[in-house]
Amino acid sequence: MVAGLLLLPVGFMVVWFVVPLLQFFGNAFTSPRGAMEPFWTLLGTGVYRRIFWNTLVLSLAVTAAAVVIAYPVAYALSRATGSKFQVILYCVLFPLWVSVLVRTFSWILLLETNGPVNRLLMSAGAIDAPLRLLFNNTGVFIGMVHVLTPYAILPIYTSMSRIDDRLLQASDGLGASVFTTFRRIYLPLTMPGVAGGAAFVFLLSLGFFITPALLGGVNAISIAMLIEQFVNEQLDWVSAAAASILLLAAAVALLAASARFIRFGVMGVR
Amino acid sequence: MTGNKGKSLRFEGISKHFDAIAALSTIDMDVSAGEFLTLLGPSGSGKTTLLNIAAGYLDPTTGRVYIGDEDVTRVSPRHRHIGMVFQNYALFPHMTVRQNVGYGPMVRRLPQDEIRRRIETALAMVKMEDFGERSVEALSGGQRQRVALARAMAAEPDVILMDEPLGALDRQLRKEVQLEIRRLHEAHGRTTIYVTHDQEEALVMSDRIAVMRDGRVAQQGSASELYHRPKNTFIARFLGESNLISGIVEEAGNGQATLGVAGLGMAFRAPAADGLQKGETAALLIRPENVRLCPEASHGITGQVEERVFLGEIEAIRLRLADGTDLWSREFATERSERAGRLNASWNEADARILPIED
Amino acid sequence: MPKTPLAARIALYCVVAAVLTFLVLPILAIVPSAFSEVSYLRIPPESYSTRWFAVFFEDPEWRSSLWTSIQIATSATILAVILGTLAALGLDRLAEPWKTLGTGLFLAPMIVPVIVTAVALYFLGQQTGLVGTKLGMAAGHTLLCLPFVVINVAIALRAIDGDWLRAAQGLGAGGPTIFRTIILPNILPGILGGTVFSFITSFDEVVVSIFLAGYGAKTLPVKMWETIRLEFTPVVAVAALFMIMLTVLPFVLTRFFGTEPGSAP
């Protein structure tokens, strides 16, 4: 009975996911210059290393920023009731329903030299000349934080909503100040959610394509853009596969490391 | 319901092993048609396992189950015509009361008016006629319990199986529902196997009780039999309050025995359980309600009143005996009773019983 | 939580309002641009007209890309719901360690970076001639939508008490009847949630679509992607507006027909 149910879905996954991935990865080892050669090239060449490094640093920065601004929103969401809750929730969910392409597109319009952000800053006297916010890491950073913050809010909110208020009351009753209760009781209890949100955002950032491509251009190439270049411009399937394997390995390593902190309560998988 | 008394049920050589653990070892038991049998025991005694084997949710490792004359050991629960009432009721949350109660008949594709008749009869029996259209979510624990019972009844099963159905109810409600289930059984008369760990409940409701322990039937019989003639100290302690005085068997035979208690310097004669040997350590059982107290006398057992417990209509008095053991007495409390100091305890020889010791 | 000082609460309120504005406003800011009169994009537009809507609808490529998106999203959703529900039902009955492994398999598309999946499918597609076909595109989208359905249905399944099934069985119901009368009604909300998530995911999907679109299966996001890099006119804003509307609409509908999002997944 179980087999009957799973036959079609598993078959589908194998045909359209497992096989294509394995086949594609297989390419990485078919270089005439040696099975592991592409990997050494990627990791050894300065150009590529800069791209990996850039993507890594950017992802870390985006993750940090996203988590920091997500935390207060998640907190407000966990404390809100009734219509306040609905409003905050919809504000968080609305961006998630909109395509990353649309969201990134809006930042192109906002961050351009004559765009509203620059005009606003100039008319407020904060700057004299327009800032270069597009086609560099700054633009990519802002765009990615915008896109990814909701993904951080939800896991943090979930862990916050599970905190038993009585723990906080106990801390208060034992004489702790609000700050101490926050630091010693609340914050640690939210850490699994924060770790989960951070891991998810970081994972997504590493593989991000659309936002760096549109907002960063040639000045801020991400690993994903590199892979795309290998495929579309250089027709270099070997390097594309090698880079993909490295990216996937980084993602899996990240998940494995953070799995200690996260409970995969979604499917009851522990 | 129809005058159907249900069918008899028999366990023949039933045992159940989960990997290395023996949950049940060699159960042979007969439940007559129309009887109310309670499986009584502490948790881990195997009573729920046995019930699930009766229902067919578990397969026995060895042995057979018979319902009526039919060997149903290999038959799935679906086809056994049993009605099970679960501990947490297991009412279908997305259906109304009527839909829940009518589920069995509906699934068996009975004609519409028969389904309606059964629902109405079942609801009337548990006095929930007005609740037909309610959602089960809105019901209280006691109400849900009755709907669960109605649902089992509407299927007109050969045997009704109840797995600690009153566990989630508070004390007062539990007592009311116990009596209701008892009355209902007298009305519908279907064979019922009831599982509980509450000995009071077992005493109130059952025709017969089977006390289970560690996967075996420790003793079975009527409530009166088990209470007045337990086979060993475990059964004695499990049902009702007891005083157990240990000693050595001085002689035994013909349903009687003499127990020598060195610490008190006395020997007691009383009816005895089977299987006692001379020289064996055993215990004298005397129920607190049979212990009579009177002012100190030169013979008999004397003790110092150490504790008095008010239990409403009854007062329990604890005497400390010469060898340090406690003896409890229970008597109707009157405002004027002043039990204090040293008192004499005595009882009718026929009310005591000498038992083998079993923890 | 003990009473926090007023100043702290005001500060929190301001911060939260600022972040929420940051999240929502940029998206809404596109809307006026769709009504711009001139051919360069600016927020806010200097003058308003609806001419770019006409441009959108008169261009066969834009029209067909919208239609393709709807077709693909619908077929991918149907496929994902069927496969995903079967998968969730099957996984529910598995013992460990197969359950964890199976779950991992179906959630993997969410973990493997989309670019990797996209390129791998492109590689397969080139060999099998599926690039530029709606079949290939639908398959790719189904792959990405499956995890959402599986998660939604699995959560609903977990809420089903095993005793209900045993009770139904004891009352004489067989497997198919139990599924129809007990399991299905209780997982319907999960299936519905999965359907909505699927449709939106497919409609919004960009990366895999870019690679698999070829010439014959350009979805609306693909057409937008190409246009943004070539001619930067307000017709893109019109397309963006449609995308926002068509992905927000299903959720607005579910709101009005009872299923509240409640708490986060």
pLDDT digits (tens, 9 = 90+) for C162-179: 899 999 999 999 889 999
Within a domain: residue C137? Answer: yes
CB A153 within 8 A of CB A196: no
pLDDT digits (tens, 9 = 90+) for B174-187: 888 898 899 989 88
Same domain, B109 and B147: yes
Within a domain: residue C29? Answer: no
Within a domain: residue B1? Answer: no
Q: Residue B206 phi/psi, 5° resolution?
A: -95, 150
Within a domain: residue C66? Answer: yes
Residues of C with CB under 8 A from a CB of B: 161, 163-164, 166-174, 177, 181-182, 185-186
pLDDT at C265: 35
Measuring CA to CA, how many Å separate A216 from each of A139, C42, C115? Answer: 7, 19, 17
In this model, does residue C143 exceed pLDDT 90?
Answer: yes
Same domain, B188 and B64: yes
Report the distance separating Cα B204 and Cα B200, nearest Å: 6
Same domain, B176 and B321: no
Residue-range definition of the domain harbouring residue C137 = 60-256
Residue-range definition of the domain harbouring residue B189 = 9-228
pLDDT at C257: 66
pLDDT at B310: 87
Decide if A76 and C16 are in contact by the 8 Å CB cutoff. yes
pLDDT at A264: 45
Q: Which residues of C touch B54 (CB under 8 A)?
A: none
Q: Which of A261-265, B28-32, B335-339, C195-199 is the least confident region?
A: A261-265
Same domain, B136 and B19: yes
Provide the domain count of chain C.
1
CB C94 within 8 A of CB C102: yes
Q: Which residues of C touch A149 (CB under 8 A)?
A: 19, 23
Within a domain: residue C154? Answer: yes
Same domain, B178 and B258: no
Query: Chain A within 8 Å of C231 (Cβ-Cβ)?
Result: no
Handedness of CA C91, C146, A199, C159 (dihedral sign): negative
pLDDT digits (tens, 9 = 90+) for A154-210: 999 999 998 888 888 888 777 778 888 888 888 988 988 899 899 999 999 999 999
Within a domain: residue B233? Answer: no
pLDDT at A2: 74
Q: What is the DSSP string of A136-173?
A: SHHHHHHHHHHHHHHHHHHHHHHHHHTS-HHHHHHHHH
The per-type count for chain B, helices as H runs and strands as E runs, is: 9, 20
Q: Which of B127-136, B292-301, C238-247 is the least confident region?
A: B292-301
Q: Residue A36 phi/psi, 5° resolution?
A: -95, 0
Which strands form B62-67's sheet, in the order they lie side by side?
Answer: B21-31, B9-18, B62-67, B70-71
SS3 of B79, please?
helix
Same domain, B76 and B155: yes
Same domain, B277 and B203: no
Same domain, B209 and B284: no
Best residue in A19, A89, A90, A97 for a mutation probing chain C (most C CBs within 10 Å):
A97
Decide if A99 and C204 are in contact by the 8 Å CB cutoff. yes
Mind listing the pLDDT tens digit of every residue in chain A (270 residues)?
A: 777 888 899 999 999 999 999 999 988 888 777 778 888 888 888 889 889 999 999 999 999 999 999 999 999 999 988 888 989 998 999 999 899 999 999 998 888 887 888 888 888 877 777 778 888 888 999 999 999 999 999 999 999 998 888 888 888 777 778 888 888 888 988 988 899 899 999 999 999 999 999 998 787 889 999 999 999 999 989 999 999 999 999 988 888 888 766 554 433 333
Residue B277 sits in a domain whose CATH number is 2.40.50.140
Decide if C175 and A1 are in contact by the 8 Å CB cutoff. yes
* pTM for the predicted model, two decimal places: 0.80
- For residue B173, name the pLDDT band (cuts at 50, 70, 90): confident
Same domain, B196 and B72: yes
Q: Which residues of B touch C173 (CB under 8 A)?
A: 78, 103, 107
Once rounded to an integer, what is the mean pLDDT over residues B318-335?
86
Within a domain: residue B2? Answer: no
Same domain, B289 and B330: yes
Domains and CATH numbers, chain A: 46-265 (1.10.3720.10)
For residue A118, give the nearest of A104, A147, A138, A98 by alpha carbon.
A138
Nearest to C113 among A16, A98, A247 (CB): A247
Within a domain: residue C232? Answer: yes
- Determine what percent of chain C is predicted with pLDDT higher than 70: 94
Please name the residues between 52 and 91 in chain C that touch chain A, using a CB distance below 8 Å.
Answer: 82-84, 86-87, 89-91
pLDDT at B235: 92
Nearest to C186 among B57, B83, B94 (CB): B94
Helix (H) or strand (E) holding B46: none
Please give the interface size between A and C, counted as residue pairs whose CB atoms are below 8 Å apart. Answer: 247
pLDDT at C91: 92
- For residue C264, name the pLDDT band (cuts at 50, 70, 90): very low
Residue type, C77: T
Mark whether A and B touch (3+ CB pairs within 8 Å): no
Greater pLDDT, B249 or A31: B249
C22, with CB counted inside 10 A (0-12, 13-18, 19+), is middle
Report the distance separating Cα A66 and Cα A152, nearest Å: 7
Provide the domain count of chain B.
2
Query: Chain A within 8 Å of C216 (Cβ-Cβ)?
Result: no
Q: What is the DSSP string of chain C?
A: -PPPPHHHHHHHHHHHHHHHHHHHHHHHHHHHHTTBSSSS--SS-SSB-SHHHHHHHH-HHHHHHHHHHHHHHHHHHHHHHHHHHHHHHHHHHPPTTHHHHHHHHHHHHHHS-HHHHHHHHHHHHHHHT-TT-HHHHHHHHHHHHHHHHHHHHHHHHHTS-HHHHHHHHHTT--HHHHIIIIIHHHHHHHHHHHHHHHHHHHHH--HHHHHH-TTT---HHHHHHHHHHH---THHHHHHHHHHHHHHHHHHHHHHTT----S--
Residue C135 sits in a domain whose CATH number is 1.10.3720.10
Same domain, B21 and B165: yes
- Tell me what the pLDDT averaged over chain B comes to: 89
First to last CA, chain A: 25
